[in-house]
Amino acid sequence: MARKIRVLIAKPGLDGHDRGARVIARALRDAGMEVIYTGLHQTPEQIVEAAIQEDVDVVGLSILSGAHMTLIPRVTQLLRENGADDILVIGGGTIPEDDIKALKEGGWVKELFTPGTPLEAIVEWIQANVKV
């Protein structure tokens, strides 16, 4: 058996819009990755625990609620506290330019994908950034 890229796709917080997350999950699966999808309304604690138990390479957070400035840093912080900050955190959703800059410069997230991003761009980013 060969090494497979494992990705956790999670919906943190209270927003119930999971179409995007599902589309991404499917695109990653079709690109040969193992995708763990945990469903709606997850707390950062649940997401981090799942990421650790599933030993994923990447955590993808889908946020359309506007709470990204709170939720993304919280997930990253919990990963650090658990000694799991080698797991790449990426995100997607309706996130304003200024916030993207702040989250990336603050080291809270590796990459953010906004609406309109081609699926291939996300697949390629993961393939390029996960050490296989």
Question: Which chain residues interact with other proteins by CB under 8 A?
Answer: 1-4, 6, 25-26, 28-39, 42-43, 45-46, 49-50, 52-55, 82-84
Closest CA to 36 of 68, 63, 4: 4
Residue 57 CA: distances (Å) to CA of 14, 94, 96: 25, 24, 26
Burial (CB count within 10 angstroms: exposed 0-12, middle 13-18, buried 19+), residue 68: buried
Cβ contacts of 28-32, under 8 Å, gap ≥ 24: 28/122, 28/123, 28/126, 31/123, 31/127, 32/4, 32/5
